[in-house]
Amino acid sequence: MGQTLAEKILAAKCERDQVVPGEFITARVDLVLASELSAVLAIEEFEKINGATIFDPQKVVFVMDHFTPNKDIRSAEIVKRCREFAEQHGIRFYGVGRAGIQHILLPENGWVSPGDLIAGADSHTCTYGFIGAFGTGIGSTDAAAAMALGEIWLKVPQSVRINYGGQPRPYVGGKDLILHTISKLGVDGARYQAMEFGGETIAELGMADRFTMANMGIEAGAKTALIPADEKTLEYIKQRNGNTGDFFQPDPDAEYAATYEIDVSRLEPCVAVPYLPENVKPASELGDVEIDQVAIGMCTNGNLEDMRAAAQILKGRKIHPRVRTIIIPGSQKVYLDAVREGLIEIFIEANCAVSTPTCGPCLGGHMGVLASGERCISTSNRNFRGRMGHPESEVYLANPYVAAASAIAGRIVPPSEVL
């Protein structure tokens, strides 16, 4: 019987020829990661284990990205606790000035490879599927056990295959493909399943677009989201001095719980309207929705390619006088590359604020919290009620082109309306 990509990776991690959906396995992990919010809880649980030691300090990473730079005394104390624990146990620690948003930082530094099993105390750990790794979110208690044992216990998920065909229109990219997919499946349509993306359109997509798609697999309820590694993946890894890992490929006769065919040739730039990522409409139909804030970046669209997309629209233009626009590069490297390319100058001349890498506004933490009645169009991944601030605020999800165009217009529009 053929195996899906997820099944092949999990079989390798428990040293078996194959695994079957629905069975419970204990699998070896290649990396355990946590942010300050999840790490501090994992530390508490880890220290309850008598005689526990870190299974491999090189395979545990703490990245301070949610409330950093520290927004208050409480967050400062949490980061201090994480830093002291990391120093005590010799694990990798990324703090302010050396870090970035974890899901952009780790691939950028070559810490994840195709075929890896990544256990992260963050729901968007599924992002690593963009290079053919099985990334999955776990709780802080599970993270503590994984730090001690180097393994996790999980049920092998069923897989769903989603094939994309056709040539995308201008200003349509990975964000639009995944929003459209979520609109078709629903926010629980792939619950505890592995989403496997393929087809001619995926083969042509750049790595940043693949990154965005895998990042939002969890918004359909998926356990993980995967794109088989290919030559583009290999080039990406080589540029970052990473380990080439294992380029597992799904078998032609693999069995899927469902298979979907999506033609992207007619797809317009999409926007998810409040209060679920499945509530997707064409940007062209939302021109009467006025906005107060625009947030571009974070983990979902914080790569250099996303910064370039926003700059392409904003260059030589000013944002609407009613709108505040916050640009958040996903890492220090992305920030520096954007400086060198002149992108930051474009943003500032357009009256945007540019932030050090942080998750801040995405979770309503800091650097862009919304007041009652305010609307924000964001390149982030969630638009639940109260996600970015007040329960009576609204968040709209879009790609960087649409977000930048909306910043100029003061209302939600496709790029064609301002160019």
pLDDT category, 15, cuts 50, 70, 90? very high
Tell me which residue has tokens 């209302």. Answer: 411
Calculate the alpha carbon distances from 54 to 51, 164, 350 in Å.
10, 42, 48
**Which string of DSSP letters, residue by residue, matches 189-224?**
TTTTEEEEEESHHHHHS-HHHHHHHHHGGGGGT-SE
44-67: average pLDDT: 95
pTM of structure: 0.96
Q: Would you say 73 and 80 are in contact if contact means Cβ atoms under 8 Å apart?
A: no
| CATH (one of 3.30.930.10, 3.50.50.60, 3.90.1300.10, 3.30.499.10) for 271-417 | 3.30.499.10
pLDDT at 200 (0 to 100): 96
Percentage of residues in the chain with pLDDT exceeding 90?
96
pLDDT at 99 (0 to 100): 83
- For the chain, the residue count is 419
CATH class of 5-262: alpha beta
pLDDT category, 1, cuts 50, 70, 90? confident
Q: Which two three-digit tokens encode residue 1?
A: 């019987």
pLDDT at 418 (0 to 100): 94
Domain ranges of the chain: 5-262, 271-417
Residues 268-295 have pLDDT tens digits of: 999 999 999 999 999 999 999 999 999 9
Q: Which two three-digit tokens encode residue 80?
A: 């201090």
**Which string of DSSP letters, residue by residue, matches 208-266?**
HHHHHHHHGGGGGT-SEEE----HHHHHHHHHTT----------TTB--SEEEEEE-TT
Residues 81-121 have pLDDT tens digits of: 999 999 999 999 999 999 899 999 999 999 999 999 999 99
133-154: average pLDDT: 97
Q: Is the peptide bond before 69 cis (omega within 30 degrees of 0)?
A: yes
| Longest alpha-carbon distance in the chain | 63
